[in-house]
Structure formats: C-alpha cells, structure tokens
Amino acid sequence: MSQSNSEYVNPLRDPQDRRLPRIAGPCGLVLFGVTGDLSRKKIMPAIYDLANRGLLPPGFSLVGFARRDWADQDFAQVVHDSVKAYARTEFREEVWKQLAEGFRFVPGNFDDDVAFDQLRRTIQELDEVRGTDGNHAFYLAIPPGFFGTVVDQLKEHGLADGGADSWRRVVVEKPFGHDLESARELNGILAGVFESGSIFRIDHYLGKETVQNILAMRFANTMFEPIWNSNYVDHVQITMAEDGGIGGRAGYYDGIGAARDVIQNHLLQLMSLVAMEEPTSFDAESLRIEKQKVLSSVVLPRRLDLTTARAQYAEGWAGGEKVAGFLEEEGIAKSSTTETYAAVTLNIATRRWAGVPFYLRTGKRLGRRVTEVAVVFKKAPHQPFSASSTEDLTQNALVIRIQPDEGVTLRFGSKVPGTAMEIRDVNMDFAYGGSFTESSPEAYERLILDVLLGDPPLFPRHEEVELSWKILDPILEHWAKQDAAGKGKPDEYESGTWGPPSADAMLARDGRVWRRP
C-alpha cells in the first residue's frame, strides 16, 4: 500500500465510505394497491430481496391496504407467493419468518374513515411492538385518480405528519399526470399535504445500475467528455424496445400510449443524463439543476409531421408465436388511436449540443427487448484511404447497453487482416457479467431503500416532471389534431419488426438510419 499509516483511513470507520452497506433505520412501509401487478411483480419481491441482503431494519413492517376481506395471514400469503415467483435472491425461511412478523393488513376503501383510523392504530401498534419509531412511508401503487383521496385521508387521520422526531414520506408511481396541466394539479395535491423533500416520485429507470453508470462513465473518466459535444457527436439515438404487447394492461394503456408511458419519463430522464453538464456534486439538488437545464433547453423541430412518428402494432410474431394486433387486444376499442410506438426528434439548444439531434423511440411488440443509448460520432474529416477501402465502414459509436445485455460497446473501424487495405467496423465490449462478480440489484430494491433512507438523488422532482410535459405536450397535441381532423392516424407495423416505415423515413430525411440493436 502506497499510503503511509497516518494517511490510511480504515474504510470500516469512515462514515462516508460508499462501500459500506447503507442500511435503513427503524421504519415501515404502507402499501396501497397490494393487488396490482406492480406490487406483486416488483415491490413485494424487492422488499424481500432487501431483507435478504440485510438492508432492512430488524423490526421493519409492511402494511397492506386494499378493498379485500383479508386477515394478516391472507396478506402474508399474497406476499409469499409474489416473493416465491419474482424475488431475485434465494428464498431463506429464516429471513422470510422475521420479515413476515411485521406484516399487517387493513381492509377498506380509500374514502373509508374507519379504515384509515384502523391504519393509524396499526401503525401505532407497530411502533410499539416492532420499534418502527413513527417512521413510515406510504407507497401509492394505485391509479393516480386516487392520489388526492388517499393523501387527503392521510392528512385527515393524522398520518401524514410524523412530528419532530420521526418521518412520514409518500411514494408515487407514474403517470404523473397526462399533460402539463394535470401534472401541475397532481403536484399541487401532493404538495398540499407533504413537503417536497418527503415526496418520492418513482422513475424506475433511474434505479437501474446501467443508468446510474452513465454519470460514472462520463464524469469519472477523461476520455469521453472531450468528445461529448457537437464537434464530434453527429446524433444520439435512445431506444427502448419491448417485444411484449400491452398484456393485461388495456385499461391503463389505452388513451395513454407509448409517448406518455415511456418517453415523458424514462427516455427524457435518460436523455438528461446523457446531455447534462457535470454536476457540482451528486446530491439531489445539484443533479436536478443540471437535468432541469437540459430539459428546459429542448426545442422541438418546426415540422412535427416530419420529425415524429407514431404507430400501432399489427398482428405478427413474438417469440415464435403468432400474436394479435393492438386493435384486436382485449379491452381495446377498434377505433383506438393510442400509439404503441413513438419516435421523436429533439434538439437541445446549448453550445454543447447545437445541431445534434436526439432521436428517442420506444415501442411494444418490436423485434427484441432492448434499451440502449447510442452516441453516434461524425465521420473522420478526412480519409487517407481509397473509397473502396472504407466502403463497409460506418460511423463510430458508443453504445450504452442499458438492458438486457448490460454493458458498453465502442464501435470503430479496423483493418481487415490481409494484403489489401480494407477497413471494417469492429466492436470493443465491456459486459457487466465479465467485469463484476456481483449481480445488479433490481431497480426497485435500490429505490425503495433510498425512500427508507430519505435519499432523493434518484427521484425526479416536480420541476423535471413539468418540464418533460412541456416538451411532450405539443407533440401530443399535434397528433390529437391530426386525429380530430381525420388527417392522420397511427401507422401500423407488423409485430416482431422494428417499427413503422414512417419512423425510418423520419431519420432518412436527415440522412441517417436507426440502429438495429
């Protein structure tokens, strides 16, 4: 070790050491919406995984609230089934037993005063017998139409304020409104009861390791930042493709569509991380300032008819099986104009990004499930090779593979071995699996732990949410106007392909092509 003894800081004694596990203090979580898919597939398993990793306090409690005639044991059985089916880490009986001792269930409607009184008594009982010390987070995994009722009830029944020595927090899931106006309304409702530091908005993409790594990659290294600008970057493509259809979510998805479901939140957050300036630190405030600067610098092209694309999946193939088109899905009206694919062109009016389009696309029932950010570089200003030598050479690209094959690929030209000078694209690869032995935690594990720790950097603030709607609203209005005038409707793409021809045409007009991930 090169450090002298006096300089050496024992990491076990250094409270700032990031390698030490961050363990939540005494607390509990109240879950509204326990019967929903999100609770079953993501939230409950994540809570177990956190317990299994030793990151929850020993007396942690989980209270389920729903309109079901359940006793505590019934609720425990539901959590048990979900953990068995979806948890990331192995099932350990002793961990489960200790966790399940803190489970309680409160039956009732959201507007039922008796039920909220019972919730208050339940929490008091847990504070006494489990030592949760008055610290509770209320997780609203419910449709946003009920947020107002629930937060009002929490306030009315004295649940929203923990007093001087304990905390109360609220966790909300998207959609945070369906346009700027409704987002403001929603923010107003939450802000009327909880102070801004106690409101945690989940954008689960920010909880993904590979998304957090964008900042590490950009700002912990020297070699990327000098070329991360309009002098070198030609354009950026952000893709979130899914091979699945809407599944059983017709009720949620119809009328929402791909742009509201994914671009407004996940993809604009990704874009902010890729485009932002270096923050002064990684605390929530500094990050938010930089992300907000990006979002407020976005300008839309003038011709939205030429620079956006939307479409619905038609029947086709997925995973070797014939699948139905969107309009044939159960619960979707034949006349629905909801898009299942959306692509948009955004410009960022800053010195760094002037003239560099950011193309964002997302869709259901595409060729494969993949999310990636591709920074595509300009061609070398001069090629001292014959044109035929570089025929197969495309543009250099840095591809951040968010999922499922997590890693980073650098694409550049290389000489093909042989007597001729022939240059072709090659890839240099970093794969998480090859470099790290530990597997990445699920996004929800990280985010739920951060809520319990009161650590806000990975949660978008309401200003970011509103700025994102400001970007999207004109595009949504443009599409709605087309529908109303009968001038246009979403295009179609065959399930299992890479989207509609209109999206290809959108890039072709700029002399570019989409990557085929």
Contact call for residues 183 and 470 (beta carbons, < 8 A): no
Examine the residue annotation and report whether 266 is marked as an active-site residue of this protein.
yes
- Give min distance, CB of 196 to ligand BG6, in A: 23
Output 52 or 371, the one with its CB closest to ligand BG6. 371
Binding residue for ligand BG6, selected from 127, 209, 261, 464, defined by CB under 6 A? 261
- From CA 333, how far away is CA 116, in angstroms rounded? 37
Output 242 or 329, the one with its CB closest to ligand BG6. 242
- Which amino acid is it at 289? I
- Give min distance, CB of 482 to ligand BG6, in A: 23
Output 160 or 447, the one with its CB closest to ligand BG6. 447
- Give min distance, CB of 136 to ligand BG6, in A: 25
Count residues contacting ligand BG6 (CB under 6 A)?
5
- From CA 308, how far away is CA 343, in angstroms rounded? 5
Q: What is the CA radius of gyration of the chain?
A: 25
Collapse the DSSP code of 21 into the 3-class scheme (helix H, G, I; strand E, B; otherwise coil) and give the result: coil
* Annotated catalytic residue, options 204, 235, 266, 462: 266
Output 262 or 323, the one with its CB closest to ligand BG6. 262
Site for ligand BG6 in 202-241 (CB under 6 A): 204
- From CA 239, how far away is CA 263, in angstroms rounded? 10
Residue 242 interacting with ligand BG6 (CB under 6 A): yes
Joined tokens for residue 26: 């005494």
CA–chain centroid gap for 245, Å, is 18
- Give min distance, CB of 193 to ligand BG6, in A: 25
- From CA 443, how far away is CA 168, in angstroms rounded? 22
- From CA 500, how far away is CA 483, in angstroms rounded? 18
Query: Which residue, judged by CB position, is nearest to ligand BG6 in the bound state?
Result: 261
CA 471 → CA 12, 215, 345, 453, 467, distances in Å?
A: 46, 23, 11, 32, 6
Nearest to 344 by CA among 270, 254, 264: 264
Site string for ligand BG6, 167-206 (x = CB under 6 A): -------------------------------------x--
Output 106 or 374, the one with its CB closest to ligand BG6. 374
Site for ligand BG6 in 342-401 (CB under 6 A): 371
> Would you give the end-to-end CA distance of the chain in angstroms?
44
- Give min distance, CB of 283 to ligand BG6, in A: 26
Residue numbers of the site for ligand BG6 (CB under 6 A)? Answer: 204, 242, 261-262, 371
Hey, which residues are catalytic here? Answer: 266
